[in-house]
Every structure is written in structure tokens, then in C-alpha cells.
């Protein structure tokens, strides 16, 4: 599809059977150009979905917090009663584990956000012509919204446990959050076209995500030595979550170069997935049925 | 390309797959082909078929294309391609200006939100900015006539109210190109008329593509016809009436065998004009203004006192619009049995373009109410070829004079 802006504010659109034969960069430019429209739509959808979601719910916004909270409480109990033993974490364990589960939840929600944003508004896709990136944005905005709620809870917990913070490292926390969110969103985005065709993706993610949480130092501190310490270096989430947690709790950070490598890699993955999404959506929509 | 031409379609084709699993797999393959910038296979793979094949037309501002055809002919697929929802497999579409669609009204609605909130939400989905919606808000609410329910959740609306709201929002778009797909199935008469008026107004400044099974509506609004059948398109530029006649011809209405009673049998019926009479096996076409003759042959199985034949004329939508009830004024038989063959002449018919059927009723005027001895619904069909086509099957030829 090619669009040419014309004089007198007229646009000419050409739909043809030929493949677009354009570079990745050209597609990205197209996407950026359609961003204002996509944002307008995405924000409206986000407001609409949030309002609807919480209008029919008693617990309201608390639902964004329950999964990580529940996991954290469980692990506090397990460790507190010596059912499970682990290394010292350097800070009070409840803060450690709660920060960990919250950050993991950001990742987990981010992976599911693109597919969720589209599935929620699936009916629209095959009936009206809308900027499809808008649906992604609505998922993104919902992710940001939920993350903000988590931050509020974390602030409360920090106060309750007298957790020490340092402003110089707190400024890096947004970077850390961005990185974690980007990691999840870019993976989720890449899986979205397939996920719309085959249910296996969604089901697979539901099974694999909890599994991977335990392969990441979320509820336990990263082991520096031992047979699976290599996993902690090569698992991108291990690096991203540990760094962010350390920034939050004013602990020293190591391995910053890994952090930057992974963040750049995920950024590239995100841009690539975005173009894949744009090109594959028309093909998927016609197969999805109305 | 003329500067006023808003839509240009060339050799447009689209294929679909019958089997779901194979279709999903082809989807994966197509994504791969698209990403690698390769040529797609233009021919049909296993289980695929052409939903739209080699369609060509042009449309200017102020013109209306009527897209007609039987169910499953490819009309909605063509419309989806025009709307940019699915990609063509062959050919191309060129559209100028803003495109609006009255398709599946109310799709952007969230049932939990109120009507007011949904106007903003649906408007945004259709491409309005918030400022534009604010400007048109009052006009939209006025048109939809749901004033008192504006702040109730949409899930409490009836389906008619939803269509009203959806139509109100979509029709205030002022697009350059408008695509309309059979939206007015639900809706009371008053609102339907309002919608037609609105579409007429929009038509002045827009190129419209209209999909409908309602032939009077098509006849009223379309300047061109695209008749779709199994994906192939027959284009009638500037001669909408020809297209509609062709559409009627495609409909081989079932000729049911006569369901005769035990009192009488309808043996034969013929209809035609003074040039040709046809029986049930042939297509009968007469011209507007012709004298129409109907010949009826009945065999009475019992003795009938004062037989009375009446005819009822039904239109395409199986609505009765005329009756012939004056048999007794011409043929008065005291006692009758055996064969009865009669002919009637309808002088200088004033029927509008369309296909009509004749229902034959034989009754016995022995009793006051006249017991029905035989009733054959739609005994025979005939088509009237006429430049006049309108809402009503009968076009009265009244005389006019200027008083002032």
C-alpha cells in the first residue's frame, strides 16, 4: 500500500497485489508518519478499555498488583520458615522478592501486551480500516498504566520496610523499566502474527512464562558460581531485572556493558518486529475471519 | 485519470482457501513471501478459489455504483478490498480522498460505556479528531434520536438503537468516497427514510459504492451497476436498469408443481403480450404499456355453481400489489364441470421494471363467502421491461394540468 499526500489536503491510496519492495527503513518511516493517528486511536481505546474494565469490577486497580504480591508473600513464607534456603540478598528479603516479582510482572505483561491489545479489538480489524499500530499502542498504554500502579505499591513497601534509596541511582530506574518493558514488548510483538493464526502461541506463553521466571533471579539472588551461573549472564532478563532492582535499592551495579548490549539488541528486535507486524497484518486479517 | 475520478479498479482479484488449517498455513507462507519481497504465486494453490476475479471499473464524484449479486458472489470481499482491509492477489485499486464506510455499524462500540462515550470512541476509531467530534456532537445526537438514552450504557440499547447511533456517527464523516454495505436491515421505517435522505445528500459530493439486495433502493440511487456472480463482475456503466434486469434473469425462481386440490386441477397457464405467449417453462418478458394476456386452463373434478376465477399479482418481494376480481362481470356460468379455459387481458400495463408472479384462485360462489376450490400461488412469472423503475410496482398514468 502506498500513500501520496496531494495538494488540497487530498490523499491518494493505491492498493496493489505487488509486494511493497521497500526497505525496512522506508517502512519504519511510514510507521512513524502514521504515529499521531495511531496514538489518537490507541489512547482512546486505552481509556475505553480501562474504564470498562474497572467499571465492572470491585477490586478495580488492585488486580494489577495481586499476582506479584501473591508470589512474593509465598516466597517470603517459604524462606522465612526455612523451607527453602538461599543466599543473603543484601537487603531485606521482602523488599528483594517484591521488587523482583513486580519487575518480572512488567516483563510478563509486556510480552502479552501486543497480542492482548489486538485480541481485545479483534472485531474491528476485519471491519473498519484503522491504523493498526493504534492497537499496539493501546496495549502499550495499558502496560505503562499498570507499571505506574506497581511503582506506587513499591514506594509504599519501601517506606514500610525503611528501605534505603539513593537519588543518583533512582534516576536510572526509568531506564531499567524501559528496558524490561522493551524486552517483553519486542518479543511479544514478534510472536503476534503467528499468535493470531495459531492458538499455540498464547497457550505456550502461559505455560512458559512462569517456568522462565524461575530461571531468572527474581525470587532468589543470582548465583555467582555454580553450574547455572552462566544462565544468569546469558539470560537477558537476569541482567535487566538485577540491574533495575539494584538501582531501586541503591545497591552497586556490575556488568553494565551486558545491560547496554541487551537493551540495544531488544531495540533492534523491536523495530524489526514492528515492520513484520505491519506487513503481515493484512495477510492475517483475511485469514482470521470476521 | 480525470481529476474527478475518485476510484479506479483494474484487474482486481482475490483468492481464498476453503480449508482452515491449510488457510492458516498459507497465511504463514504469505507472510514469508511478503517479508522476503518475493513474487507471490498468482495461481490457485490446493483448496483455493477465486472470491473476486478480474474486476474493472471507475467511479467519479457524484456517481453511485450498485454492487448486486447473490449471496456469496464476492460483494463484501470486493468492498473489504476497497476499504483497505485485505490485500488484492492480482490487480490494483486507486482511491483518492478520505474514505468512509457504513459497514457493520457499531463495531467500535463498547457495551459498558454510555452512548456519549461511545460517540467519542467510535468517532476516534473512524478517524475523527476530538475537535471534529465536538463540533459534530449535537448533529450526531440529533440524527440518532436517542436523546434521553445518551448516558445509558450501550448494552441496554436495542439493536435498532445501536444501528441508529452507528449510522449517525459514520454518516457525519463527510468523506470523499463512501462504502455502504447492507446496513439498514434493522431500523424502523422513519429512520430508514431518514438514512436514505442523508445518503442522497452525501451522494452529491461523494463517490458511493452501495451493496444491497433491495432492488428499488439500488434502482433509486445507482448510476452504474456491478453484477457479481461467483467472483466474476458484469459491469453496466450508465445503464442501471439493464443491470437490474440481468440480476432478475439470474434468479431462476423455483417453479413448484401445481398443488392441485381434489376439486379442481390447474392444467396450464400462459402469459404474454399480443406478439408472444409463454407457458411456465419459458421466460416471459413484456414491455411497459403492452396489453398482457393471461390464459388459464382448469379441469373441474366436481360440479361447480358459478365458478369465480380471481388473480393476484405479487412482486419480487412476494408482496401482493394488485388483484383482478371482476370475473363475474364477464363470465357468468350457472353450472360448470369439466374443462374451463379462459383468457383475460390487462390493457396497457403500467407496471414498473421487475419480475412479477400471478396467483390463481378459483372459488365457488355458491355460498356467500365463496369457498376456495383451488389456489395456486405464483402459478407463472413474467418480467416487465420498462424504463420506469421505482419503489412501487404500479406506476399510475395520471394527467396533469397547470392551475396557476
Interface confidence, given as ipTM, is: 0.72
Whole-structure pTM over 0.80, yes or no?
Answer: no
> Domain of A48?
34-288
Asked, for residue A12, whether it belongs to a domain, the answer is no
Question: Which residues in chain B are closer than 8 Å to A19, comparing Cβ atoms?
Answer: 33-34, 37-40
Q: Which residue of B has its CA nearest to A11?
A: B97
Asked, for residue A27, whether it belongs to a domain, the answer is no
Number of structural domains found in chain A = 1
CATH code reported for the domain at B264-385: 2.70.50.60
Asked, for residue A160, whether it belongs to a domain, the answer is yes
- pLDDT tens by residue, B201-231: 888 888 999 888 877 778 878 889 999 988 8
Query: Cell 556493558 belongs to which residue?
Result: A257
Q: How far is A127 from chain B (nearest CA, A)?
A: 7
Of B27, B81, B130, the CB nearest to A197: B27
Q: How far is A19 from chain B (nearest CA, A)?
A: 6
A6 touches chain B (CB under 8 A): yes
Asked, for residue A102, whether it belongs to a domain, the answer is yes
- pLDDT at B366 (0 to 100): 54
**What's the mean per-residue pLDDT of chain B?**
84
> What are the boundaries of each domain within chain B?
264-385
| Range with top average pLDDT, A43-57, A265-279, B37-51, B306-320 | A265-279
Q: How far is B231 from chain A (nearest CA, A)?
A: 16
Of B35, B85, B95, the CB nearest to A13: B95
Tell me the average pLDDT across B347-376: 81
CB pairs under 8 A between A and B: 139
- pLDDT at A130 (0 to 100): 78
Query: Cell 498504566 belongs to which residue?
Result: A145
Nearest-angstrom CA–CA distance, A58 and A249: 33
Residue B371, pLDDT > 80, answer no
| Range with top average pLDDT, A36-45, A106-115, A277-286, B17-26 | A106-115
Q: Which residues contact A93 (CB under 8 A, 6 or more apart)?
A: A76, A79, A80
List, as ranges, residues 34-73 from A with C-beta within 8 Å of B: 37, 40-41, 44-45, 48-49, 51-52, 55-56
Asked, for residue A174, whether it belongs to a domain, the answer is yes
Amino acid at each position: 500500500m502506498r500513500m501520496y499526500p496531494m495538494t488540497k489536503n487530498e490523499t491518494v491510496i493505491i492498493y496493489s497485489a505487488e509486494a511493497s519492495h521497500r526497505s525496512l527503513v522506508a517502512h519504519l518511516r511510514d510507521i512513524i508518519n502514521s504515529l499521531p493517528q495511531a496514538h489518537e486511536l490507541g489512547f482512546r481505546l486505552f481509556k475505553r478499555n480501562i474504564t470498562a474494565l474497572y467499571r465492572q469490577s470491585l477490586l478495580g486497580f488492585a488486580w494489577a498488583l495481586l499476582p506479584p504480591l501473591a508470589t512474593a508473600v509465598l516466597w517470603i513464607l517459604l524462606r522465612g520458615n526455612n523451607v527453602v534456603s538461599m543466599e543473603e540478598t543484601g537487603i531485606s528479603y521482602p523488599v528483594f522478592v517484591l521488587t523482583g516479582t513486580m519487575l518480572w510482572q512488567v516483563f510478563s505483561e509486556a510480552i502479552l501486551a501486543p497480542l492482548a491489545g489486538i485480541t481485545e479489538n479483534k472485531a474491528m480489524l476485519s471491519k473498519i480500516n484503522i491504523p493498526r499500530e493504534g492497537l499496539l499502542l493501546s496495549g502499550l498504554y495499558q502496560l505503562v498504566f499498570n507499571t505506574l500502579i506497581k511503582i506506587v505499591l513499591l514506594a509504599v513497601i519501601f517506606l514500610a520496610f525503611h528501605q534505603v534509596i539513593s537519588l543518583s541511582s533512582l534516576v536510572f530506574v526509568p531506564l531499567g523499566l524501559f528496558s524490561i518493558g522493551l524486552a517483553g514488548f519486542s518479543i511479544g510483538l514478534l510472536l503476534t502474527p503467528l499468535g493470531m493464526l495459531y492458538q499455540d502461541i498464547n497457550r505456550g506463553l502461559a505455560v512458559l512464562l512462569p517456568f522462565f521466571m524461575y530461571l531468572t533471579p527474581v525470587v532468589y539472588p543470582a548465583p555467582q558460581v555454580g553450574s547455572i551461573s552462566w544462565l544468569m549472564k546469558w539470560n537477558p532478563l537476569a541482567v535487566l531485572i538485577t540491574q533495575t532492582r539494584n538501582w531501586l535499592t541503591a545497591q552497586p551495579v556490575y556488568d553494565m556493558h551486558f545491560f547496554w548490549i541487551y537493551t540495544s539488541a531488544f531495540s533492534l528486535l523491536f523495530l524489526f518486529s514492528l515492520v513484520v507486524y505491519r506487513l503481515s497484518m493484512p495477510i492475517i486479517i483475511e485469514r482470521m475471519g470476521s | 485519470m480525470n481529476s474527478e475520478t475518485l476510484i479506479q479498479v483494474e484487474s482486481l482479484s482475490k483468492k481464498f482457501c476453503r480449508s482452515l488449517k491449510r488457510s492458516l498455513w498459507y497465511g504463514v507462507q504469505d507472510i514469508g513471501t511478503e517479508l522476503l519481497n518475493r513474487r507471490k504465486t498468482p495461481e490457485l494453490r490446493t483448496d483455493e478459489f477465486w472470491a473476486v476475479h478480474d474486476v474493472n471499473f471507475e467511479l467519479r464524484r457524484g456517481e453511485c455504483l450498485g454492487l448486486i449479486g447473490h449471496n456469496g458472489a464476492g460483494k463484501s470481499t470486493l468492498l473489504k478490498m476497497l476499504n483497505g482491509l485485505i490485500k488484492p492477489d492480482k490487480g490494483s485499486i486507486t482511491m483518492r480522498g478520505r474514505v468512509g464506510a457504513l459497514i457493520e455499524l457499531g463495531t467500535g462500540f463498547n457495551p459498558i460505556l454510555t452512548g456519549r462515550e461511545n460517540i467519542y470512541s467510535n468517532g476516534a476509531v473512524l478517524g475523527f479528531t476530538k475537535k471534529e467530534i465536538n463540533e459534530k456532537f449535537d448533529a450526531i445526537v440529533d440524527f440518532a434520536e436517542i436523546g434521553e438514552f445518551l448516558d445509558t450504557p450501550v448494552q441496554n440499547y436495542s439493536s435498532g438503537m445501536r444501528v441508529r447511533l452507528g449510522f449517525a456517527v459514520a454518516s457525519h464523516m463527510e468523506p470523499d468516497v463512501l462504502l455502504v454495505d447492507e446496513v439498514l436491515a434493522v431500523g424502523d421505517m422513519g429512520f430508514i427514510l431518514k438514512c436514505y435522505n442523508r445518503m442522497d445528500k452525501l451522494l452529491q459530493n461523494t463517490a458511493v459504492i452501495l451493496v444491497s439486495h433491495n432492488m428499488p433502493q439500488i434502482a433509486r440511487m445507482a448510476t452504474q451497476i456491478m453484477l457479481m456472480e461467483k467472483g466474476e463482475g458484469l459491469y453496466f456503466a450508465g445503464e442501471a436498469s439493464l443491470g437490474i434486469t440481468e440480476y432478475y434473469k439470474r434468479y431462476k425462481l423455483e417453479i413448484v408443481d401445481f398443488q392441485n386440490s381434489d376439486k379442481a386441477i390447474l392444467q396450464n397457464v400462459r402469459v404474454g403480450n399480443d406478439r408472444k405467449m409463454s407457458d411456465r417453462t419459458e421466460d416471459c418478458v413484456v414491455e411497459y404499456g403492452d396489453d398482457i394476456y393471461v390464459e388459464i386452463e382448469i379441469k373441474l373434478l366436481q360440479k361447480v355453481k358459478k365458478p369465480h376465477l380471481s388473480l393476484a399479482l405479487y412482486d419480487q418481494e412476494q408482496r401482493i400489489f394488485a388483484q383482478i376480481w371482476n370475473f363475474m362481470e364477464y363470465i357468468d356460468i350457472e353450472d360448470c364441470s369439466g374443462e374451463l379455459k379462459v383468457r383475460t387481458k390487462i390493457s396497457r400495463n403500467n407496471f414498473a421494471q421487475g419480475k412479477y408472479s400471478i396467483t390463481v384462485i378459483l372459488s365457488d360462489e355458491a355460498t356467500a363467502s365463496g369457498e376456495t376450490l383451488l389456489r395456486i400461488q405464483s402459478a407463472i412469472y413474467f418480467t416487465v421491461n420498462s424504463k420506469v423503475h421505482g419503489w412501487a410496482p404500479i406506476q399510475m398514468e395520471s394527467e396533469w394540468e397547470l392551475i396557476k
